[in-house]
Amino acid sequence: MIYHPINKNNPLVLASISPRRKAILKQIGIPFEPAKSTIEETICGETQPADIACHIATRKVESVQHAYKNRWILGADTIVVINKTIFGKPKNPGECRAMLHLLKGKTHDVITGFCIHDPGKKLVHLEAVMTKVKTKELSDIEIEAYINTDEPFGKAGAYAIQGIGSFMIEKINGSYTNVVGLPVCEVINALITCGALKDFPPTE
């Protein structure tokens, strides 16, 4: 079945209220409407990090799609992985401190799983994108000062590459926007392939 593509009168539904993901979609000019997911972002029974991120992304879409008829819906979830340890979002200063101590001076993986459901509520795309990130050695003073900015809270891995946290990033290999929370190149390609976008950048 052919569905109407995303436009100003038929905006994409983003199954997230993440300020980072909203900022990315706004920056690239895709009309969208944020929808708050009701699920807990807890580690599921999946064993592979990419599968975990994709599973949570899919659950986010499923939690909001009942409220949206005939709409394209995008879900995404970002996790940080080092030495098989998976980091989500820290809930307190202690968790921030533990994460940053494990990440300092090492290379870790940032994985975003994303999915697209068509207006018929069918899953039409599921993908995980990985970026490797190298952080510098961090002193205890730097870690405590960063925690005191409050920026680490609500961020996978306890840092924001697009914010103050950029001071600790030595090198990345892969998509920068993936680390922020949404791999733009891959998402755009997927939206075009499944018919959600006619073209990009738009020609009309």
Q: How much is the pLDDT for 162?
A: 95
Which residues are CB-contacts of 40 (< 8 A; sequence separation ≥ 6)? Answer: none
Give the domain range for residue 87: 12-193
Q: How much is the pLDDT for 102?
A: 95
In a domain, 106, yes or no: yes
CATH number, residue 161: 3.90.950.10
In a domain, 201, yes or no: no
Secondary structure element (H or E) that encloses residue 187, with its range:
helix 184-193
State how far Cα 26 lies from the chain centre.
15
In a domain, 81, yes or no: yes
Compute the distance between CA of residue 84 and CA of residue 105 in angstroms, rounded to an integer: 17
In a domain, 112, yes or no: yes
The catalytic position among 77, 118, 140, 150 is 77
What type of residue is 168?
A: M
Helix/strand/coil for 193: helix
Compute the distance between CA of residue 56 and CA of residue 15 in angstroms, rounded to an integer: 11
Q: What share of the chain is helix, strand, coil (3-state, %, to 5)?
A: 35, 25, 40
Q: Are 149 and 164 in contact (CB under 8 A)?
A: yes
In a domain, 44, yes or no: yes
Return the closest-CA partner of residue 104 out of 144, 154, 52, 55.
Answer: 144
pLDDT digit string (tens) for 66-114?
A: 999 899 999 999 999 998 899 988 999 999 999 999 999 999 999 999 9
Ranges in the chain, pLDDT < 50: none
pLDDT-above-90 percentage for the chain:
84
What is the count of structural domains for the chain? Answer: 1
Q: Are 131 and 174 in contact (CB under 8 A)?
A: yes
Q: How much is the pLDDT for 203?
A: 72
Whole-prediction pTM = 0.92
Q: How much is the pLDDT for 41?
A: 65
| Known catalytic membership, residue 150 | no
20 to 23, 34, 105, 194: CA distances (angstroms): 5, 12, 25, 24
In a domain, 137, yes or no: yes
